[in-house]
Amino acid sequence: MAQIMIAPSKYMQGPGAIREVGPHVAALGKNAVILGSKSGFASVQEDLEKALADAGVKFHYERFMGECSRKEIDRVNAVVKAHGGDVVLAVGGGKCIDAGKAVAHENKIPVVVVPTIASTDAPCSALAVTYTDDHVFESYYVLPQNPNLVVVDTEVIARCPARFLVSGMGDALATWFEADACRKSGAKNLPGGDSTEAALALAHLCYDLLMRFGRQAKAAAEMHAATPAMNVIVEANTLLSGLGFESSGLAGAHAVHDGFTALHECHHLYHGEKVAFGTLTQLVLENREMEEIEEVLDFCTDVGLPVTLAEMGVTATGKELDDKIMMVATSVSGMINNEPCNACVDNIAASIKGADALGRAYFARTGKKPAKFEGDH
């Protein structure tokens, strides 16, 4: 089997990057459909509209309705056809971006991705994760190519609540461990080949940068300051994590995340927050060294990622808790089969319990306070 590595055609990152985007979009199309969340589009609207107008690109704005579902993709497909769109701009968070990528593919036109938060590694990938209209994981929609252009304006990212950046770190935290699992098991990456040494190195670099700069970046995000540390973590969350997971593979962390979408009490959590607990579960499932687990526990509790079921919103006890854990274990996605160990339902359920026990013991031992995750997104 050949080694395969894929990546977006062009990646731009830096303060004010939105103001420079016009000529790059014009090279792809002259009649854009902008799919954007209300708040995401508002954060870039003035600069983006001016950049497009100056480059001679016409545009129609269509509000994203909140879920990357089959229904939403079909709705926006009709909008693109009605307006004769020849390029899609997906502006917002991960679900909006995934919907935009799917729409562009189904209309056979280019896509420009403009993340307004650094909360997932969705921007760079040739993948869309679809959900039901009730927010339950449905499928991985593998696309034939990566985005034509990814534009990350760190001034925009810095204005967002710190929780978004931290969620992105939770998503990126899984990249190296899942890449390593796929390497050990011989699992194929998302384009269907073996990983390259370059992709594995990028996945490991992603983890290394999180450990070195993640805490500083969170502090900067809380002050809405686009510091060098934040710039590094935005790149780790967006580019390195995207390249690493796609060209090396997904495994237990994301599979467990998908299982947790079956629990209503976890719907308030961001993607990366669930992935972080999935990463801890994967480490338990693989019986990794306690030194590695401790490093993950230290990091997660320092930046504010969940390491217990209670933090995830799962507060049931006794048989009710066992039933909920079994629901998660039986709802994991097929990526669990990329694990280099026996990932049967019983072992997954036991590993979820084990991860929770490690998290609770960590809090008891260190005196740190559990993180709180409130509100709906």
Convert the pLDDT of each residue in 205-245 to its tens digit: 999 999 999 999 999 999 999 999 999 999 999 999 999 99
Quote the DSSP letter at residue 306.
-
How much is the CA Rg of the chain, to the nearest whole Å? 20
Q: Which two tokens stand for residue 245?
A: 């997971």
pTM equals: 0.92
119 pLDDT band, cuts 50/70/90, is confident
Question: Mind listing the pLDDT tens digit for each residue in 98-116?
Answer: 999 999 999 999 999 999 9
Q: Which two tokens stand for residue 129?
A: 């994760």
> What are the structural domains of the chain?
11-158 (3.40.50.1970), 162-366 (1.20.1090.10)
CA distance 75 to 267: 24
Q: What is the pLDDT of residue 375?
A: 66
Q: Which two tokens stand for residue 49?
A: 């509209």
Question: CA-CA distances (angstroms) from residue 24 to 11, 18, 19, 28, 151?
Answer: 11, 11, 11, 7, 10
| Amino acid symbol at 260 | F
CA distance 294 to 300: 10
Q: What is the mean pLDDT of the chain?
A: 96
Name the residue among 185, 344, 352 with its Cα closest to residue 256: 352
Question: Mind listing the pLDDT tens digit for each residue in 254-283?
Answer: 999 999 999 999 999 999 999 999 999 999
Catalytically active residues are 171, 254, 257, 271
Higher pLDDT, 344 or 94: 344
Quote the DSSP letter at residue 188.
-
Query: Which own/partner pairs from 199-204 qualify as long-range (CB within 8 Å, at least 24 positions apart)?
Result: 199/5, 199/243, 199/244, 199/247, 199/248, 200/244, 200/248, 202/240, 202/243, 202/244, 202/247, 203/175, 203/176, 203/178, 203/179, 203/240, 203/243, 203/244, 203/245, 203/248, 204/176, 204/179
| Amino acid symbol at 167 | S
Question: Mind listing the pLDDT tens digit for each residue in 176-204?
Answer: 999 999 999 999 999 999 999 999 999 99
